[in-house]
């Protein structure tokens, strides 16, 4: 025992040490990361964000340098706080809060102290930064907007928030990301890839050369430029026309699906969301819950389409064979259905398809709609057939365009009404308002522009899109070069097109004719209601218009929506005509019309329901 004691202790010690080493080196893997944090500093090299051009190569967005004051909390040494906060132009309390927040985020990763210094602030500060350990100035590149329009198309970039960092490890605190519009949709294309340098540090945090001779380092990859389908001139003109009004304009090139203009009103200057005033401006825009400037009415506004929808009712009826283009339907000034139910019509007399569209006859379209639904054994089945036809026009679902926001709209089917009427006791007449684009139907302006383009093409469309080219190449994602053909045969489109043409030559928009251009269009007026302080009230009708031109080989299809603009040709019709002329001719001959629209304001109309006073509508 005496001879063996020390030998046994030695052997046990050897085993215990081996176990401890196994635990430290093999079992517990956290030390690897700890030693990385300790000894390796990561430096990022940010590439230029790609530029954005319009369809004609006009520069819309470029970059400008910006400087952020950053901090790495664990490297901060005791400093003269008063002097430093004076330099930064913030209070001691604010400074402490920022520092505390940074420490909570991470003691070893950089956080922003003061974002986006001005050039003079930068020049002043950069000389003094050496005095403050742990603080440094990070150069970044900010957007420099060359235009004051298209904010809804371009979107904006902003600092990543915590949620984004958690979801996507590429981003680090203080970095910028596209938050809206094409900036968000094409974030990875525009942003490029940041370069990384790993630097070996010693315990005083001094750089002592590249880590592992730089084998893990990468070079930054420049962001690619983006060419949009937007026509900057047309877009700008559209925004001017929509000033002091609320609504949207969507213009599409029918032959390609390229979006020529996407206007929402009210809009804002994209430069507002750059620089140090950004958050103040953003808050102001964000909390304007009445005018809602951040709400893209062209994509997100869901409205009853009104009379333009009659073109689709007619097309489906012909495809279903419940009417021919020449069959005449008499209108006694109203459509009567059920027990004493009537739906008024503003004209009387006999109409075939062309005339029905030109005069926007309610009786005609209610009749053919009812025939379509009642063709099948049950109304559910008829409703489903009708729904499928409309779906082939891209309605009732997301269109699939390349912007990150949108709405589905609503095209009811059999199930929809079965849910409304649980006893399944409903007939075509219960849904008769659908025939004339009221009832349950909701479309977004871009869906309306798209079905107009489809009619212009006589039965097919490309998914509307914003992208025209990436970098130097013209290639665009394949989903935008895939033709969608509707369920309605091409021959049925001619009478509808002719009807829309006669809307201009002798119908509801005859006073909007533009010399030298064969425009096909359709007016619309949609009743609407709003709930303010729990009270439902009717507001002035929405003014709606869809059009395309020229009649043969169309170059532009457009939908215009003006909230509470009263009848269709009053505002929307004029705006559509001006946009078409601007795009096709480059100049305006109907100066009278232009003046009417540019000087016209609907702000009084919009203030009515909030005035607290009783008010009149549709005047």
Partner 1 sequence: MAAGKGSLRFDWLTIFFYILLVAIGWINIYSASLDENATQFFDFNQIYFKQFVWILLSVLIIVFILALESKFYERFSSVIYLVSLASLLGLFLFGKTISGATSWYAIGPASLQPSEFAKAATALALAKYLSDIQTDISVFKDQLRAFLIIILPALIIIPQPDPGSALVYAAFIFPLYREGLPYIYLLVGFFAAALFIATLGLGVIWVSLGIIAIAGILLFRKRKRKPNIFKFVFLTAISLAFVFSVNYIFNNVFEQRHRDRFNIVLGKETDAKGIGYNTNQSEIAIGSGGWTGKGWTQGTQTKGKFVPEQHTDYIFSTVGEEWGFIGSIVVIILFVGLIARLLVLAERQKNQFSRIYGYSVAAILFFHFFVNIGMVTGLFPTVGIPLPFFSYGGSGLWGFTILLFIFVRLDAANSYYGN
Indicate whether 208 belongs to the interface with partner 1 (CB under 8 A). yes
* Span interacting with partner 1, options 22-30, 147-155, 328-336, 528-536, rule CB under 8 A: 22-30
Contact pick of 51, 67, 84, 211 for partner 1 (by CB under 8 A): 211
Indicate whether 78 belongs to the interface with partner 1 (CB under 8 A). no
Indicate whether 7 belongs to the interface with partner 1 (CB under 8 A). yes
Q: Do the Cβ atoms of 535 and 602 come closer than 8 Å?
A: no
Helix or strand (DSSP H, E) at 589: none
Contact pick of 77, 162, 163, 203 for partner 1 (by CB under 8 A): 203
Q: Which is nearer to partner 1, 19 or 477 (CB)?
A: 19
Q: Which is nearer to partner 1, 212 or 330 (CB)?
A: 212
Indicate whether 32 belongs to the interface with partner 1 (CB under 8 A). yes
Q: Which is nearer to partner 1, 21 or 43 (CB)?
A: 21
Strand-pair category, 226-228 with 52-53: parallel
Indicate whether 73 belongs to the interface with partner 1 (CB under 8 A). no
Q: Which is nearer to partner 1, 206 or 616 (CB)?
A: 206
Indicate whether 2 belongs to the interface with partner 1 (CB under 8 A). yes
Contact pick of 47, 136, 212, 524 for partner 1 (by CB under 8 A): 212
* Span interacting with partner 1, options 113-121, 188-196, 209-217, 346-354, rule CB under 8 A: 209-217
Strand-pair category, 329-331 with 258-265: unpaired
Indicate whether 77 belongs to the interface with partner 1 (CB under 8 A). no
Indicate whether 28 belongs to the interface with partner 1 (CB under 8 A). yes
Please name the residue that has the structure tokens 């302006």.
445
- CB neighbour list of residue 64: distance below 8 Å, 6 or more residues apart: 141, 142, 143, 144
Q: Which is nearer to partner 1, 18 or 43 (CB)?
A: 18
Strand-pair category, 195-201 with 207-210: antiparallel
Indicate whether 25 belongs to the interface with partner 1 (CB under 8 A). yes
- CB neighbour list of residue 451: distance below 8 Å, 6 or more residues apart: 311, 312, 393, 394, 395, 443, 546
Distances (CA, A) of 602 to 150, 570, 618: 22, 12, 12
Q: Which is nearer to partner 1, 37 or 505 (CB)?
A: 37
Q: Which is nearer to partner 1, 13 or 589 (CB)?
A: 13
CB of 32 to partner 1, least distance (A): 5
Indicate whether 511 belongs to the interface with partner 1 (CB under 8 A). no
Indicate whether 214 belongs to the interface with partner 1 (CB under 8 A). no
- CB neighbour list of residue 538: distance below 8 Å, 6 or more residues apart: 527, 528, 529, 617
Please name the residue that has the structure tokens 């001959």.
589
CB of 226 to partner 1, least distance (A): 41
Crossing angle, helix 232-241 and helix 574-585, to 10 degrees?
Answer: 160
3-state secondary structure 179-228: CCHHHHHCHHHHHCECEEEEEEECCCCCEEEEHHHHCCCECCECCCCEEE
Indicate whether 34 belongs to the interface with partner 1 (CB under 8 A). yes
| Count of residues near partner 1 by CB under 8 A | 37
Six-digit token string for 414:
């059999």
Contact pick of 103, 161, 202, 346 for partner 1 (by CB under 8 A): 202
Please name the residue that has the structure tokens 């005449």.
328
Q: Which is nearer to partner 1, 15 or 344 (CB)?
A: 15
The alpha carbon of 6 is separated from its chain's Cα centroid by a whole number of angstroms, namely 79
What are the start-end ranges of the E strands in 47-194? 52-53, 59-71, 111-117, 135-145, 157-159, 176-178
Indicate whether 21 belongs to the interface with partner 1 (CB under 8 A). yes
Footprint on this chain of partner 1 (rule: CB under 8 A): 2-3, 5-7, 9-11, 13-14, 16-18, 20-22, 24-26, 28, 30-32, 34-36, 38-40, 200-203, 208-209, 211-212
């Amino acid at each position: 025992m005496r001879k063996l004691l020390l030998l046994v202790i030695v052997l046990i010690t050897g085993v215990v040490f081996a176990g401890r080493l196994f635990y430290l080196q093999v079992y517990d893997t956290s030390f690897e990361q700890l030693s990385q944090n300790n000894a390796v500093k990561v430096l990022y090299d940010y590439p230029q964000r790609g530029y954005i051009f319009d369809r004609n190569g006009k520069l819309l967005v470029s970059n400008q340098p910006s400087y952020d004051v950053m901090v790495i909390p664990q490297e901060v040494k005791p400093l003269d706080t008063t002097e430093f906060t004076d330099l930064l132009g913030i209070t001691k309390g604010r400074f402490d809060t920022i520092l505390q927040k940074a420490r909570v985020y991470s003691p070893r990763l950089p956080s922003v102290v003061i974002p986006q210094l001005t050039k003079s602030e930068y020049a002043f500060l950069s000389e003094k930064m050496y005095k403050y350990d742990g603080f440094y100035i990070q150069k970044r590149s900010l957007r420099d907007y060359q235009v004051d329009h298209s904010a809804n198309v371009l979107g904006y970039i902003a600092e990543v928030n915590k949620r984004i960092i958690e979801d996507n490890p590429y981003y680090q605190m203080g970095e910028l990301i596209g938050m809206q519009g094409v900036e968000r949709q094409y974030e990875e294309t525009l942003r490029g890839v940041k370069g990384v340098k790993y630097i070996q540090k010693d315990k005083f945090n001094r750089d002592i050369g590249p880590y592992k001779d730089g084998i893990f380092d990468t070079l930054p990859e420049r962001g690619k430029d983006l060419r949009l389908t937007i026509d900057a001139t047309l877009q700008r003109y559209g925004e001017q026309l929509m000033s002091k009004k609320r609504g949207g304009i969507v213009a599409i090139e029918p032959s390609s699906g390229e979006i020529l203009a996407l206007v929402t009103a009210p809009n804002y200057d994209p430069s507002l969301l750059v620089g140090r005033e950004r958050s103040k401006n953003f808050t102001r825009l964000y909390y304007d819950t009445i005018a809602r400037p951040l709400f893209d009415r062209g994509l997100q506004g869901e409205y009853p389409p009104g009379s333009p929808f009659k073109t689709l009712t007619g097309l489906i009826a012909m495809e279903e064979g419940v009417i021919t283009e020449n069959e005449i339907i008499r209108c006694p000034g109203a459509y009567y259905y059920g027990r004493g139910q009537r739906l008024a019509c503003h004209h009387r007399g006999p109409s075939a398809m062309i005339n029905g569209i030109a005069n926007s006859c309610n009786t005609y379209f209610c009749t053919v709609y009812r025939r379509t639904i009642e063709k099948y054994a049950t109304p559910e089945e008829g409703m489903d057939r009708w729904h499928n036809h409309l779906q082939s026009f891209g309605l009732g679902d997301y269109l699939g365009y390349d912007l990150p926001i949108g709405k589905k709209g609503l095209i009811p089917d059999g199930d929809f009404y079965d849910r409304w009427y649980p006893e399944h006791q409903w007939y075509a007449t219960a849904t008769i308002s659908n025939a004339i684009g009221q009832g349950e139907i909701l479309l977004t302006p871009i869906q309306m522009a798209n079905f107009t383009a489809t009619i212009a093409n006589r039965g097919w469309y490309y998914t509307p899109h914003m992208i025209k080219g990436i970098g130097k190449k013209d290639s665009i994602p394949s989903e935008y070069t895939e033709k969608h053909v509707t369920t309605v045969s091409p021959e049925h489109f001619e009478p509808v097109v002719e009807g829309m043409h006669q809307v201009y030559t002798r119908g509801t928009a005859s006073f909007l004719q533009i010399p030298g251009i064969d425009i096909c269009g359709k007016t619309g007026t949609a009743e609407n209601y709003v709930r303010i302080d729990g009270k439902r009230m009717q507001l002035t009708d929405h003014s709606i218009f869809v059009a395309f031109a020229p009649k043969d080989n169309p170059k532009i299809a457009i939908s215009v929506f003006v909230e509470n603009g009263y009848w269709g040709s009053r505002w929307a019709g004029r705006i559509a005509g001006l946009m078409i002329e601007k795009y096709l001719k480059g100049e305006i001959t109907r100066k009278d019309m232009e003046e009417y629209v540019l000087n016209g304001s609907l702000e009084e109309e919009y203030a009515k329901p909030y005035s607290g006073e009783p008010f009149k509508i549709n005047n």
